[in-house]
Amino acid sequence: MNNLTPTNDATPPNETNAAAGTPPINRRDFLAATAGLVALTSVASAQQPALKAAAPAPAASAGGAGGRVGPGFPANSVTFNTVITKLKEGKQIFSNTIIQPDLEAAKKACVGQDFIWIEMQHSRLTWRETEDIIKVVVEAGCIPFVRVPGAFEGDIQKATDAGALGIIVPMVDDVEEARNAVKFAKWPIGHRDNPNAKPWGHRSSGGGQFNALYGPKYQTNANNNILILIMIENPEGVGLIDTILDEVPGIDIVMVASNDFGWQAGDRDGDASYNAREKLVRDSVLKHGKILAGPSSWQDRPGYRLFQGTRNATNTGYDASGNRIETPPAPAPKKA
């Protein structure tokens, strides 16, 4: 900041400057001369023709949520989540699931898939490992989704800061839980002159690798690129599905979690009670214009668009007892 108050270091105007040998100047003459110089300069400036147009205002910074310093990159103008693009084209969306911190395996898992399901609910992955996996997935041209342990601010914040473009929230059976999934994943308004896409949330603006992955367009386009997927897994969630979708804006995808869907209720896919609940959820999701998701073995069922699993899956990934079906290792090549 400039200090406009004279300091005692300056030579008083009524004293002789011995080094220069100049005569004393009284205060009245000094002020009069200064005023005259300012007036002369102003007149000269006014008489000169304009040499160039006024300089444009400095470009707004893209920093901060939605541009902390200025409006930043145009909000809601760029789609870098290719899952959104493919869904708009009417395509079905498939995935692979990552549960281990093997970066080379994560890279290979991207081949032929639309997104990678990074498992943070049931795996022992750390957030540092998940961040590294997200980087590999994005560099491989795939879209990272993270299943968080629940609709908790800290987990969703870490996932979005790491660069996740899909937030998967399990066991949703409460309106407030669904609301929190959106609230913690979405930026607030950002900048009033260039507001982020609604719904606005309470995501905090902090550090992360998202700018390194997606560039300056991320800050003001995160809200329109991050997908919120809630999983309906128990009868309570089934009973509230209409209420959740009526009251919570920002839910993009609803998944019928096929295994727990039966495990939590005591029946199995194919039972009349199971099928009735599945139909209730399916009808509600489609009525509200949301994307319906399920295991990839359900890809031929009506209405389903997004799947956990690859296109060639033949089962839900779990057996009738609820145990995960492990893919058997490929047979060793025969020796010549």
Amino acid, res. 40:
L
Q: Which residues contact 7 (CB under 8 A, 6 or more apart)?
A: none
pTM score, whole prediction: 0.75
Per-residue CA distances from 254 to 5, 142, 258, 305 (Å): 65, 21, 12, 10
Question: Can you say whether the dihedral through the CA atoms of 254, 256, 260, 263 is positive or negative?
Answer: positive
Distance in angstroms (rounded) separating the CA atoms of residues 42 and 48: 10
> How do the domains of the chain map onto residue ranges?
13-43, 82-308
Q: Which residues contact 227 (CB under 8 A, 6 or more apart)?
A: 81, 83, 84, 145, 165, 166, 167, 252, 253
pLDDT in tens, 293-307: 999 999 999 999 999
Q: Categorise residue 252: left if φ over 0, alpha if ψ from -120 to 50, beta otherwise.
A: alpha
Cβ count near 83 (within 10 Å): 24
Contact 255, 278 (CB under 8 A): no
Please name which of 104, 183, 111 lies closest in space to residue 141, comparing C-alpha atoms: 111
Contact 24, 14 (CB under 8 A): yes
Contact 260, 234 (CB under 8 A): yes
Amino acid, res. 181:
A
Please name which of 241, 307, 316 lies closest in space to residue 279, comparing C-alpha atoms: 241
pLDDT per residue of the chain (336 residues) written in tens, 0 to 9:
333 333 333 333 333 333 334 444 454 444 444 444 334 344 333 333 332 333 333 333 333 443 343 456 899 999 999 999 999 999 999 999 999 999 999 999 999 999 999 999 999 999 999 999 999 999 999 999 999 999 999 999 999 999 999 999 999 999 999 999 999 999 999 999 999 999 999 999 988 999 999 999 999 999 999 999 999 999 999 999 999 999 999 999 999 999 999 999 999 999 999 999 999 999 999 999 999 999 999 999 999 999 999 998 776 555 555 555 555 444 555 554
CATH of domain 82-308: 3.20.20.60
Q: What are phi and psi of 243, to 5 degrees?
A: -65, -45
Please name which of 226, 301, 287, 321 lies closest in space to residue 256, comparing C-alpha atoms: 301
Contact 217, 254 (CB under 8 A): no
Distance in angstroms (rounded) separating the CA atoms of residues 244 and 276: 19
The helix/strand/coil state of 87 is helix
- The number of C-alpha atoms within 13 Å of 258 and in the hemisphere containing its C-beta is 24
Per-residue CA distances from 169 to 134, 251, 270 (Å): 18, 11, 25
The helix/strand/coil state of 314 is coil
Asked if the peptide bond before residue 199 counts as cis, ω within 30 degrees of 0, the response is yes
pLDDT in tens, 45-103: 333 333 233 333 333 333 344 334 345 689 999 999 999 999 999 999 999 999 999 99
- Altogether, the residues listed in the chain come to a count of 336
- DSSP code of residue 102: -
